[in-house]
Amino acid sequence: MHIHILGICGTFMGGLALLARALGHRVSGSDADVYPPMSTQLEAAGIHLMTGYSPHHLQPAPDCVVVGNAMSRGNPAVEYMLDQGLAYSSGPQWLAEQVLQGRWVLAVAGTHGKTSSASLLAWILEEAGLSPGFLIGGVPENFGISARLGGSPFFIVEADEYDTAFFDKRSKFVHYRPRTLILNNLEFDHADIFENLPMIQRQFHHLVRTVPASGLIIAPAGEQAMEEVLSMGCWTPVERFSVVDATAQWRAEHATPDGGAFDVLFEGQHQGRVEWRLSGRHSIANALAAIAAARHVGVPPKLAIQAMTGFRNVKRRMELRGEVAGVSVYDDFAHHPTAIETTLQGLRARVGPDTRIIAILELRSNTMRMGVHASRLPAALDLADQVLVYSPENLDWDAAAVFAAMGGRAVVLDNVEAIVSLVAATAHAGDQVLVMSNGGFERIHQRLLDRLKESGAVVNE
């Protein structure tokens, strides 16, 4: 069967392409914006990529067109598909019908931490010898790919609340029907499709309704927004986790300041001590949730804790892209004030109070462009010594006015080259450059490293 995927370089759709190829299908795809790491892994898998959305990409007609949620009416390929009466499906629907049916699905949902938690859970099950399948919205370093079919009934999916497709406005995750469900946290996001938090909560409750009574829901203790979701009705046992709440079944104690080590307790009983490469309180919370989910499928907590020693995080999650003359350049996916703040907290705890952190933020996501969280950004970036903000032309709010609250620490620029030049001219050995964006950001990471190499004399002052 020939499957053509519209929007193939998105993290979800790219993973779907790998699964379709593994099932023996011939796979091709179109996308307007192609950048690593997704483009490189698709090419390595032998999947034919086409730039743009020309109707010619659908000639001769594929057996099925899988439509990404970035596609909308008016797109030339979409209009051709509809006019010609081609068979089509959304990505989540195709996944549910072709991959998830009959499997034990472990889903990871929430505003933050989905990718890291899903990757961690996949690694724990892998180390336990369970050979799980997975589809994750990033590339876990331990696996080097974002999706695989696996060799067991267990399948881990990153469960996104974004809408499914232009013809199906339900959240993606209602298609997955998990038996084990992690609900990491819940905040207002995706302002382009949700008007307020209650609308998102309603979608999360639709997800809760799909979990069987013999399943398990793992949720944070004391988080009001999530408790409100569960109070709408819950027919499944719930285990709660927390870094601070003593009433939770899963707790962390005696954590180091940077989160690089901590004890794990379940119902007051010590299970072991995690020592790993990650940092930050948010990472500890992700770990507790993953251990709880793994236990539900039969992995003893002690074995899960041991697995964490060898866990390497996901590409674009505090990924060290390189170090030049003592200047470290990191790539991180953070694009929501909470994620930005927790990422900076983790880095600050790791490097100490005297190391200079230069934070570079791209205002790229739809929610960012709309300015929904604009007033929260200065406080979220407070732990950085210098902040460089890339503001696109079509921003709906005055970034310069908002970041004026940070005084001289924040500079708003509308040109990536200007950001690269400023960092190269002012960086010194020991500086930590943290780039935060949910897109390709015009290859800024490599451009920074290249320019720092050219400016070695300055960097070594």
CATH code of 55's domain: 3.40.50.720
Residues 136 and 258 in one domain: yes
pLDDT of amino acid 193 = 75
Cβ neighbours, 10 Å, residue 202: 13
Residues 160 and 53 in one domain: no
- On whether residue 97 sits in a domain, the answer given is no
Residues 331 and 378 in one domain: yes
Residues 403 and 442 in one domain: yes
- On whether residue 281 sits in a domain, the answer given is yes
How is residue 460 annotated by DSSP?
T
- pTM reported for the whole predicted model: 0.79
Q: Residue 201 belongs to what H/E stretch?
A: helix 197-209
- On whether residue 313 sits in a domain, the answer given is no
Q: Residue 17 belongs to what H/E stretch?
A: helix 11-22
- On whether residue 414 sits in a domain, the answer given is yes
How is residue 96 annotated by DSSP?
I
Residue among 29, 99, 102, 23 at smallest CA distance from 67 = 29
Residues 84 and 113 in one domain: no
Residue 343 structural domain: 319-459
Residue among 20, 14, 19, 18 at smallest CA distance from 1 = 20
Among 308, 327, 345, which residue terminates a domain?
308
> What is the block-wise mean pLDDT of the chain (461 residues), using blocks of 10 residues?
94 92 94 76 86 95 96 97 98 97 96 90 96 91 90 96 93 96 85 81 95 97 93 97 92 90 96 90 92 98 95 77 90 81 85 92 80 84 92 83 87 89 89 87 87 62 35
Distance, CA of 285 to chain centre = 15
Q: 275: which strand partners? A: 261
Residues 151 and 279 in one domain: yes
Residues 83 and 137 in one domain: no
How is residue 52 annotated by DSSP?
S
Cα–Cα distances (Å) from 294 to 45, 105, 121, 251, 305, in that order, read 29, 12, 7, 15, 10
- On whether residue 96 sits in a domain, the answer given is no
Distance (Å, rounded) from C-alpha 376 to C-alpha 371? Answer: 10
pLDDT of amino acid 98 = 96
Residues 27 and 108 in one domain: no
* Domains: count for the chain: 3
CATH code: domain of residue 116: 3.40.1190.10
- On whether residue 137 sits in a domain, the answer given is yes
The encoded tokens of residue 234 equal 């819950």
- On whether residue 95 sits in a domain, the answer given is no
First to last CA, the chain: 60
Among 60, 90, 120, which residue terminates a domain?
90
Half-sphere exposure of residue 112: CA atoms within 13 angstroms, side-chain side = 23
Residues 243 and 112 in one domain: yes
- On whether residue 106 sits in a domain, the answer given is yes
CB 192 within 8 A of CB 370: yes
Among 41, 69, 90, which residue terminates a domain?
90
Residues 149 and 261 in one domain: yes
Residues 7 and 53 in one domain: yes
Residues 249 and 150 in one domain: yes
Helix, strand, or coil (residue 115): helix
Distance, CA of 169 to chain centre = 21
